[in-house]
Structure 1
Amino acid sequence: MARRKSLEERIADRVAQRPPMKESKNFEHGPAKWIFASVLVFAVLVHFIIVGVVMIFGH
């Protein structure tokens, strides 16, 4: 009776069948790229707003 491969072996087989990643491609997942960019832009905007508030109200 043939035994079923373990989960790790099945994942390893699946990963081995993938083509190599393209150079200069950092994100495989499209939505992850947009979430990362959105969080980055949000953080920069918040910093600018805080700096502006401190410049206006700081004495």
Structure 2
Amino acid sequence: MFNRKPIEERIADRVAKRPPLKEGKHFEHKPALIVFLVVIGLVLVKFVGMFVLMQMGVH
């Protein structure tokens, strides 16, 4: 449509232009790391809150 490549080809071209992932890195970009840390933080807060409520005797 409108003389554009299909979305799959455009994505493949963009991925091919990326440099290889550096040795020892687990996240390709900063937003992925931030989302991962926020999710882990929320899980930890949930468990700490659960244990606090259990110690207080709230069911």
TM range (shorter): 0.5 to 0.7
Shift of 1:19: 3.0
* Regions of 4+ moved over 2 Å: 5-20
Shift of 1:25: 0.9
Unaligned runs of at least 5 residues, structure 1: none
Supply the AA of the counterpart residue of 2:28. Answer: E
Shift of 1:31: 1.0
> How high is the sequence identity, in percent, across the aligned residues?
43
Distance in 2 between residues matched to 1:14 and 1:30, nearest whole Å: 18
* Worse overlay, 30-39 or 11-20: 11-20
TM-score by length of 2: 0.63
Distance in 1 between residues matched to 2:44 and 2:19, nearest whole Å: 36
Any idea what SS the aligned residue of 2:39 has?
helix
Shift of 1:16: 4.8
Shift of 1:32: 1.4
Partner of 1:54: 54
The number of residue pairs the alignment matches comes to 56
Supply the AA of the counterpart residue of 2:30. Answer: G
Which structure has the larger Rg over C-alpha atoms?
Answer: 1
Distance in 1 between residues matched to 2:36 and 2:19, nearest whole Å: 25
